[in-house]
A and B are shown apart, each in its own frame.
Chain A
Amino acid sequence: MDATTPQRATDLPVQEIDVTTDTRDILAHANQGAKKRGLQDWLICDVDAHHVETVSWHELVEYIEDPVIRHQAMLFHKEKLGGAPYGLNGDMGLKYQDVGGRIPHQASLREKTEPGTHRDVTLTRRAMQSLGVDYMVLFPTPMLTLGLHPQPEMEVYLGRAYNRWLIDKVLSVDSRIKTLAYLPFNVPAEAERTIEEFADKPGVIGFCVPSTRHKPVHHNDYMRTYAMLEERGLPIAFHAAYHWQDASLATVNRFLGMHALGFVWCNMVHMTNWILNGIPERFPKLKSIWVESGLAWIPFLMQRLDDQYLMRPSEAPQLKKLPSAYMRENCWYTTQPMETSNMKALELTLEMINAESQLLFASDWPHFDFDLPQEIYDLPFLSEQAKRNILGLNAAKLFNLDPTPVKRL
């Protein structure tokens, strides 16, 4: 050590990260980590990231098809102060996502953006660059509970408006940003109409059913929707969320508990119905993706359903193999939030779901439990090929994307 001529330390430009901090500063370490691991040469597809569509709700309502509802919504946003976004039901729990202000990027991204480019394009590009992502699939946030709206037609109005607005303002601007378009699932005929209208639009690589809803996925009314998706080779994603109106979760008082259970429970119920009613047998080429429930629930449900099925096969007569076989062969899963507190359990989970072909990386940025691509890269028990598949190549195959990396770190 040369104590006589000390060098000068320099202050970091951001001393304390808050809601105004630029995404690139928040994620500076992520970018360094991606470069250090050489992810420039890896295809990275982020199959679940988010934007806050309600920031642009005043724009979005202009895309509502119904002229009367559109007029009402536009007047609402022009004249009312302090109201919630027009037509949204929302959930009280969203107030707690940022852990009482501890995680600023979850609370808000109020950074400066360039004039002339839509805010959501800029924020998404910054996140892609920082994380080292080639393609990012954007999902809405407050709209994830729209399936519980007491007026089913409101899901139709707002779901279609969202799809049109997103394509117009975001997807048509940057071909690296993709969507699984919103399906207004509570009105099956409108879900079919949505597929007809949006399947070939730029940036649409499949369709999404927000999972918080009380409609059974095996109802006969949905079979045409599934047939249409299967015929087009487009996946259907069930994106999890939670809601405090679920009677089975009514006693949960901590948001931690609600988030831990709610984001899994909705997809466990849908998956159980999906498998036991033989949807994969009826539509063997239909690819379902189970989004944002983490991974630890899958081994439990596989074992539980297998055990029960063998004792009661007469109650699931369409099945020709074990429930776990359908879950492993016909279903895809996104990684986030990947449970890592027991690495042996994680290793077994990835083996049980055949992660090498069925697992898709997801960051869930900018939410409080987001994951980085390096979480997959650093797993000690996977081959390099398995890591490459999970981080991007499985998604490229599933969504028919060019597997050549296009990002610049």
Chain B
Amino acid sequence: MTDYLVCDESDIAEGGRRVVQCGQHEIGIFRIKGQLHAWHNICPHRQGPICQGHIYARVIEPVDERGQVRLLQYDEGDQHVVCPWHGYEFNLETGRCNGNDRMKLFRAEIAIRDGAIHVIV
């Protein structure tokens, strides 16, 4: 295991990210709802650069009491990173794939020391 110093904790704002090279590993660190989450930059679908994708809130389609629908909406509490290769979407807090519970992002270990973010891989 090797310790990599990334940046100050405050350098990643809410909704922001830092994608870094740590030896042979590419790691994306995101801040969602105040918390930092680190993921390997490998989409479990086809090894695409998932951490370099756009972030979208999950799309939902509310159904009324009659079973009818009218508008699409964004669920702002469920932020997804979208693989830029093929569009696979993953929850940034859990790493779960939207539409396939068996597919998940690979979490990376991070630590905060003296106000700085470290990746341990």
Contact = CB atoms under 8 A, between A and B. Distances in A.
Contacts of A101: 54
B44 interface: no
A15 interface: yes
B119 A9 contact: yes
A14 interface: yes
B37 interface: no
Contacts of B19: 11-12, 14-15
A2 B120 CA distance: 10
Interface stretch (A55-63, A65-73, A367-375): A367-375
Interface of B: 1-6, 17-23, 26-27, 41-42, 46-49, 52-54, 56, 82, 84-87, 89, 113, 118-120
Contact of A29 (B4, B27, B49, B56): B49
Overall SS of chain B's interface: strand
Interface string A144-168: 0000000000000000000000000
A6 interface: yes
B84 A99 contact: no
B82 A9 contact: no
Contacts of A9: 4-6, 20-22, 27, 119
Contacts of B6: 9
B90 to A, nearest CB: 12
Contacts of A104: 54, 84
A7 interface: yes
Nearest to B120: A1
A15 B5 contact: no
Nearest to B47: A29
B72 to A, nearest CB: 10
B20 to A, nearest CB: 4
A17 B49 contact: yes
Contacts of B5: 6-9
Nearest to A26: B84
Contacts of A12: 19-21, 26, 41, 52
Contacts, number: 91
B87 A1 contact: no
A370 B85 CA distance: 8
A3 interface: yes
Interface in A1-30: 1-3, 6-12, 14-18, 26, 28-29
Contact of A99 (B1, B3, B23, B87): B87
A29 B48 contact: yes
Interface string A76-112: 0000000000000000000000011111110000000
14 contacts: A1-B3, A6-B118, A7-B4, A9-B4, A9-B6, A11-B21, A12-B52, A14-B52, A15-B52, A17-B84, A29-B48, A29-B49, A104-B54, A375-B46
Given A1-B2, A103-B86, A10 B53 contact: no
B71 to A, nearest CB: 14
A16 B53 contact: yes
Contacts of A11: 18-21
A116 B53 CA distance: 32
A16 B17 contact: yes
A17 B53 contact: yes
Contacts of A100: 56
A299 interface: no
A2 B87 contact: no
A143 B89 CA distance: 31
Contact of A15 (B17, B23, B47): B17
Contacts of B20: 9-12
A6 B114 CA distance: 13
A26 B49 CA distance: 8
A285 B105 CA distance: 49
Contacts of B42: 29
A8 B120 CA distance: 11
A-B pairs with lowest CB-CB distance, top 3: A9-B20, A6-B3, A9-B4
Given A7-B3, A102-B89, 7 more contacts: A7-B2, A7-B5, A9-B6, A9-B20, A10-B20, A17-B84, A29-B42
B21 A10 contact: yes
Contacts of B26: 12
A188 interface: no
A234 to B, nearest CB: 33
B2 A17 contact: no
Given A6-B118, A9-B4, A10-B20, A16 B54 contact: yes
Contact of B52 (A16, A368, A372, A375): A16
Contacts of A29: 42, 47-49
